[in-house]
Structure 1
Amino acid sequence: MRRDRQLELMRRLMKYLDEGSTAKKERMFRNPMSAYADPERHKRERQVFFRDRPVLLGLTGRIPNPGDYVTDAVDGVPLILVRDRQGVARCFVNVCRHRGARLVEGEGCGLKMFSCPYHAWSYTLEGRLKGIPDARSFDEVDKAEHGLIDIPVRESHGLIWAGPINRDAPVSDRDPLGPLEGEIEEWGFESYVFYDTIRIVRPMNWKFVMDTFMEGYHISALHKNTIDPIIHTNLSTFDAYDDHHRMVIARKTFDELRGRPEEQVDLIPYAGFIYSLFPQAMLIIQGAANVELWRVSPTGDNPGECQIEMTSYIPEAPKSEKADNFWRKNFDLAIKTVEAEDFTLGATIQENAAARLQKEVIYGKNEPSLTHYHSGIRRHLGLDSLPGMED
């Protein structure tokens, strides 16, 4: 991140710290509880946010070399993300055109060709149908028309986006990052390497997962034994970039920057940078400059279930056991904190939402990211504004 940007953020955080304040909106925000539990709204969200627009699948380091691949699912659609022989990232529906079997599971490297485990129909890494055993029995199949179903891919600034899945939706030439593009470029994510990943399914609405990372107001209460000793509670900046936004939170070591000459200031080790990449991903850059990518997707018709993936990327591959232990500790702490504390609580909130006894939830003035995010959700769904919804 550019130094002038770091200095401006540091000054803001220091001012908030001295005032006992944080970034704020002018008004509170009241969000209907049905936003998390209504089946009809959920159906509309699946179409608008996961079928009709690109979604972030990973960083370049997830598939760094030709033949590297990883399977995924977005809104229940099975996908393969692969780097072809020319080094181009591609995405295909993970379905054989013969009988509909999945071609591959999990992830791997050094792949030369896709071969269906059912009848061994084979496809190139570019998605072309290559081979059909007993081809004489399929003489009416035009290979050119029966390649894998491809999904548009855009790889820029170290991020890989795929979509829209909906074949009838327009494909935009605009970078999905919009006005955030220049700042993301400053981080140099192209050089980051994959460390580890975990994928889980949890009984909560997909937006609850995003909400988890959009305020630091809860840190001292919910995370008192995990990250509260590390991070200041209820202290952050907030900046909107169209639908996306950025928060910067201060670590407890942040006060060490006080009085330091600005030419010596490096904010990154003393802060956490949280980028909400609308609508389904969070990039979290920690003090050691490792990157956590949290992604979420509905699993189907049930608004109370979603798939969550956290993938860790680091500046360089560990060169020693000590380095590996350091990154492992960071990874395990992130999972322990969010899975055992945030998501466990989120599942109970989902039960409360499904009970339909409470009409709304309230986001305070000190939770501007939530107001911005859910205003954007409503705007893209074409829903009317509600009192306290002004962005």
Structure 2
Amino acid sequence: MNKRKKSLILIVTVILFSGFAVAQKKGSSKKNIYKSEMEQLHTAVESNFHDRVSGYYFVDLDPAKRETKFGHKREYSWLWALCAMFEATNEIEKINKNANLTDGILKSMQPYYDPAPSKPGYGEYIVKLSQGQRYYDDNQWIGITALDIYERTAKKSYFDLGKSMYDFMMTASDNALGGGLYWRENDFETKNTCSNGPGIIVALKMYKATKEKVYLDNALKIYNWTNENLQTPTGLFYDNIKVKDKSISKTIYSYNSGTMLQSNVYLYEITGDKKYLERAIKIADSSLDYFYAGDKFRDGYWFNAVLLRGYQHLLKYNKDLKYISGFKKCLDNVLKEDKNKKGLFEAKDGVYNLVEHGGMLEILARFAHLEGHYNLSRQK
């Protein structure tokens, strides 16, 4: 082989190798896009919403939007936003096992703890500043996350927290309308999907942790009641039913579909009965058509995060990525259109509040996991 041929082969080899290296680098970059977005958003949330002086979180960056209730200006976050952050940081810890974030959020929630009878629970706001109502769904979100952390880490303190949230939520149960759970303490006007769907999941996670039949029995009672009273003809779920006249508020939110979808997946895992998997797929199909037919989220980021939990859980038993693909279109549109220079997300009237940023943080953490396990780019 002469020198000219050797040189030509060397040049071609270098070009091919360089091209492969660039392609590999681009592929790696694309694969980690959601993880990078997750890390950037977490930094932005901590920088902008966390008040280092008081240790509390702000609910809104704009002081004019902060709520006044009972004569007090509620400058800091209500509990719901911290529930969103609790679950989001739990998902981040699944991606980065050294993150150590959930303990900090739990510490931030302790000023909301209200030991009032009949069972202790968390109030809607910082108790010493402005004591308000206790919402059953807020406490259920805490319970779901706590029991998830317990499954992941075996820390008994998180099991104890989950058990406490279960005990509190069961004070919402009575025989009005044949069962179901109220939305908030001492308010007997409505029973809502948002307090029954997550209630089922708390009870099922308690059953998984203890194998005590009472938890499964109560989960099934709440599950059957919710399906009978609040499910739409297409398999989604209405918002609430009034106790007084049985009238139904027919608004359909993504998070209500999410909790009931995931309840069915858990019931399939626990019982092996395929009817629950079939019901889960029906909810997934209906919710995909209703919420993700276009490229924009129909409701808030956090509501969508709860539905994503159901989609992600369903992937264990149904490998069709169409639900994730439909969701991804809306997510990618948000990342492209709604992110500002601070790394936060804009609404029509300014920056979204902490609830929505917690929801987006959870979504990005879940997609960081998904992009590491599935080829999302192939989905149309």
Q: TM-score by structure 2 length?
A: 0.25
Q: Which has the higher strand share?
A: 1
Q: Return the structure number with greater relative CO, CA threshold 8 A, min gap 6.
A: 1
Q: TM-score by structure 1 length?
A: 0.25
